[in-house]
Structure 1
Amino acid sequence: MEQITLFLLLIFMSVLAFSLGRNKAVSLSGQENNALHSRFPYYGLYAALWCGLPAIILMAVWMLGEAEISAWIVEAQLQALKPDLTADELKLRLTDVMALSSGGILSGEIDPVLVQISNDLVSFRNNSFYAMAVVAVSVAVAALAFALKKIKPEMRARTKVESVINVIMILSSTIAILTTIGIVLSLFFESLLFFNKVPFWEFLFGTHWSPQTALRADQVGASGSFGAIPLFAGTLLITFIAMLVAVPVGLFAAIYMSEYAGKRFRGLAKPMLEVLAGIPTVVYGFFAALTVAPFFRENGTMLGLDVSSESALAAGVVMGIMIIPFVSSLSDDVMNSVPQSLRDGSYGMGATKSETIRLVILPAALPGIVGAILLAMSRAIGETMIVVMAAGLAANLTANPLEAVTTVTVQIVTLLVGDQEFDSAKTLAAFALGLVLFFVTLTLNIIALRVVRKYREQYD
């Protein structure tokens, strides 16, 4: 909370610096023979960047360094006060001290030595924060004074500001790229450890999933079986049901709002439809488990069908309702982007409205519609909460939508819940499943981009 307060103070000082820099530029422009190179706001941005950026960078570096120094100090104190600790015990005590200093829960009984070290750590953090605040505010004030001194009529403020913004955008894109690479590498290397324990082909083409590994040599019923075909089949089954619901409903809704609905109705209906995308998935899960699944089970019993209390049908239908906005909103935008001249030309040839939609608008908007459908499919494949609450955890290899199934994402959550050993095949299986899921969704996104680029029409 204290760091947030300091950050907000620096933002306020940057806003104040913008006003001071702009006002100085205005005053300079009022003097004789002083033609400014840039517009007034650029001088304000120049002062604001000088005031806020160095101080915020200093604050971020200080906080990162403080975390490392805090861990080093605590570790040194632990080694001095408890020299008989092993490496694992030292890590555990270090975690306990950090938890005590933050008001967390300890792994065991409270040790007076740990309390003393945590109090010293809290005192160090408080002193460090006050020092950081003084230094950051001083740097902001000094940088503001320097920026105001540099503001002159001949200064190229726009060029300097745009250069800084360009660097910030490059850094942001680099961070996004490096984050993606980090995610892929973390999944890849952990998956390699898993495939050292379980054969690759057994994982991809095995038909039995029971990721229970034995902790002892004499333990029974925990040999471990990592055939992922039931998970892939369950994921595809639920996704297929969801797309059967979302694609027709979303596409017909998009056609109506784009071609038939009036502006007033469209202005009300489209936001209401898009609200479905903002509902938390856990709410959909409750709806599926408490309303949809009992409805299917009761009506299935009346028809003589054996419907499980947790079924792929219930999860797929509710998931389809959830992703309707992905199809309808994107398809509506694509169809609205089709030029009116194509419609007028079709009407001029004697085509009816429905024929124009079917033969002109939909073919012209087809790449965007396909992209929307593939995006919705990727969203359905990655869904977890609805499947957990409505489809269950049973890894059944079946094509019957009335039975309980599970998906890749549900098993990832199940494998990583609770205390786990990260060198066991059971835990590492989650990374292998995550790697497969990553490549599936990446492939769908690439296909969507290629379809849009290949078949996109260019209109004047």
Structure 2
Amino acid sequence: MSILTIFLIVLAIGAIGFYLGFTRSKKLAHGAAGKLHSLPVYHGSYVLSWTLVPSLLVLAAWLIVSPILIASQVRGDYPEGVLAQSSLTEDLSYGMIQSIGTGLRLLPDDEREGISDNTPIADVVPLLQRRGMPIASASRDWMLPLAIQRNALQDVSQWAMTVVVILLALAGAWWGYSRIAVRLRARNSVEAVIRVGLIVCSSIAVLTTLGIILSMLFETIDFFSRVPATNFFFGTVWEPRFAAAGSGGAEGQFGLIPLLAGTLYIGAVAMLFAVPVGLFAAIYMAEYADNRVRSIVKPLLEVLAGIPTIVYGFFALITVGPFLRDLSAQLSNLVAGNPYPFIQAQSVLTAGLVMGIMLIPFVSSLSDDIITSVPQSLRDGSLGLGATRSETIKRVILPAALPGIVSALLLTASRAIGETMIVVLAAGVAANLTLNPFDAMTTVTVKIVNQLTGDLEFTSPQTLVAFALGMTLFVITLCLNIFALYIVRKYREQYE
């Protein structure tokens, strides 16, 4: 029985329990001398809670623990030669066993019945490949019995899980129904369950952040155990490679400075373009535009935020980059008589301009919401004292909204620092260290993608360096967000 079927059966039992609990509590309300402590809907929810919560928790725990136990059982039956090898080899072998077992389930019954532990794997692989299963050529005869054993263990686990979960749902429904009484504090119990659910939901963000940090932290520590931290943080050359035979022991260089400089440089160019345009657009929409114009302009600006970043990358690669290159060639020809362009098609300027276009809706939308939240009494007081609208904006509204605007700009800067696709297509992948905005540079995120592309093992420095780069980027954006919160909290008190 599939997981969805089990879940629907449990929901059906819960719905029936809710109805029975609801009707029983209504009968008690009509026949009892005293008043019910909780409404009938709470009594029905009480039965529903006892039906769903224990059974679904057991179902979730079973789905987590069962594959681990089955894998442990199957791995314990490996041949001694395989057990003596590395854990990576064991993992690869188990992956092959999984593929064989999945393929066996796709076979018709008559073909599957003809396969036993003694069947050569060479006779089984063609059958599985005809069913579209990518079975590795390195599969061995000893894997087939383990695949059959794994399927048998999964079947037993599935049926046991089905029986236990459904019986637990029925038992919970009976227990909740039997406890319904006039003075049952069903509302308190239901609200306690809801409170726990809300706490769990609110903890997901914290647990996710913690998981992200831990997933990067251990690999980063492993990287710094192989490469000195000083070489990483203060190195000026990015050339991650293994030491080759006959190279005199030369090792790859993992200098962060070219990548960090490119990240900050491209982000700064983008902010220089996005901040004035976005901020002036927000001021116009909040203070000058009427409702009709605002209802048209603001959605059009926010459409830019919904465009995929790869589309911006295509725009930079096909339109903006060649335009800047041709324009610089014409200017160079007019000034010096040399048609050689001084702006490359892939450059910091190209990436910064296109990324700035992408960031405009973030700046304008956030700033517009902040400006419109300034109390109208401040505007009325300034205008009542004789100030013009522009003076009111400069001397009253913008100072009052400044903390929120600064916070919005810092959040936008965090978005710029984490951009990847635009940089790949508009600025290239060359880790240069230059101050010329017309040359190509790259960012931290681009190199993270490069280092984790292809068939990799997380045992080499040039793979582990991606986690060190990710942790560095995480710390930078975290500092920006903390500073934004600090600005908001500090200056918000001043205006409150």
Tell me the TM-score normalised to structure 1 length: 0.90
Alignment equivalent of 1:399, drawn from 428, 435, 455: 435
Alignment equivalent of 1:378, drawn from 394, 411, 414: 414
Q: 1:380 to 1:290 in 2, by over 3 A?
A: same
Deviates more, 1:17-26 or 1:86-95: 17-26
Match of 1:58 in 2: 58
Amino acid at match of 1:134: V
Deviates more, 1:147-156 or 1:392-401: 147-156
Return the offset for 1:84. 5.9
Alignment equivalent of 2:255, drawn from 217, 223, 227: 227
Deviates more, 1:162-171 or 1:398-407: 162-171
Q: 1:279 to 1:50 in 2, by over 3 A?
A: farther
Q: Distance in 2 between matches of 1:327 and 1:77?
A: 60
Aligned to 1:393, what secondary structure does the other structure show?
Answer: coil
1:37-436 aligned at under 5 Å gives the runs: 37-79=37-79, 86-88=84-86, 89-102=89-102, 105-214=134-243, 216-219=244-247, 223-304=251-332, 305-436=341-472
Return the offset for 1:120. 3.4
Q: 1:436 to 1:22 in 2, by over 3 A?
A: same
Q: Distance in 1 between matches of 2:387 and 2:44?
A: 58
Deviates more, 1:237-246 or 1:18-27: 18-27
Q: 1:233 to 1:134 in 2, by over 3 A?
A: same
Amino acid at match of 1:75: R
Amino acid at match of 1:431: F
Amino acid at match of 1:141: L
Q: Distance in 1 between matches of 2:16 and 2:285?
A: 46
Q: 1:101 to 1:283 in 2, by over 3 A?
A: farther
Return the offset for 1:312. 1.9
Amino acid at match of 2:419: E
Aligned to 1:78, what secondary structure does the other structure show?
Answer: coil
Identity %: 50
Q: Distance in 2 between matches of 1:100 and 1:310?
A: 47
Amino acid at match of 2:146: I
Match of 2:118 in 1: none
Return the offset for 1:175. 4.9
Deviates more, 1:44-53 or 1:409-418: 44-53
Q: Distance in 1 between matches of 2:349 and 2:151?
A: 54
Deviates more, 1:90-99 or 1:370-379: 90-99
Q: Distance in 2 between matches of 1:20 and 1:251?
A: 59
Structure possessing the higher radius of gyration over alpha carbons: 2
Deviates more, 1:441-450 or 1:252-261: 252-261
Aligned to 1:356, what secondary structure does the other structure show?
Answer: helix
Aligned to 1:255, what secondary structure does the other structure show?
Answer: helix
Q: 1:84 to 1:188 in 2, by over 3 A?
A: closer
Q: Distance in 1 between matches of 2:365 and 2:220?
A: 37
Return the offset for 1:328. 1.8
Aligned to 1:456, what secondary structure does the other structure show?
Answer: helix
CA contact (8 A) 1:28 1:34 kept: no
Return the offset for 1:422. 2.4
Return the offset for 1:313. 1.9
The count of aligned residue pairs is 457
Amino acid at match of 1:97: I
Q: 1:330 to 1:11 in 2, by over 3 A?
A: farther
CA contact (8 A) 1:364 1:457 kept: no
Q: 1:366 to 1:154 in 2, by over 3 A?
A: same
Q: Distance in 2 between matches of 1:373 and 1:303?
A: 34
Runs (4+) off by over 6 Å: none
CA contact (8 A) 1:246 1:321 kept: yes
Aligned to 1:398, what secondary structure does the other structure show?
Answer: coil
Q: Aligned Cα RMSD in Å?
A: 2.7
Q: 1:77 to 1:251 in 2, by over 3 A?
A: same
Deviates more, 1:69-78 or 1:224-233: 69-78
Amino acid at match of 1:409: T
CA contact (8 A) 1:238 1:316 kept: yes
Q: Distance in 1 between matches of 2:363 and 2:391?
A: 22
Q: 1:239 to 1:135 in 2, by over 3 A?
A: same
Q: 1:146 to 1:373 in 2, by over 3 A?
A: same
Q: Distance in 2 between matches of 1:132 and 1:69?
A: 14
CA contact (8 A) 2:418 2:445 kept: yes
Tell me the TM-score normalised to structure 2 length: 0.84
Q: 1:421 to 1:457 in 2, by over 3 A?
A: same
Q: 1:422 to 1:15 in 2, by over 3 A?
A: same
Deviates more, 1:31-40 or 1:434-443: 31-40
Q: Distance in 2 between matches of 1:17 and 1:332?
A: 50
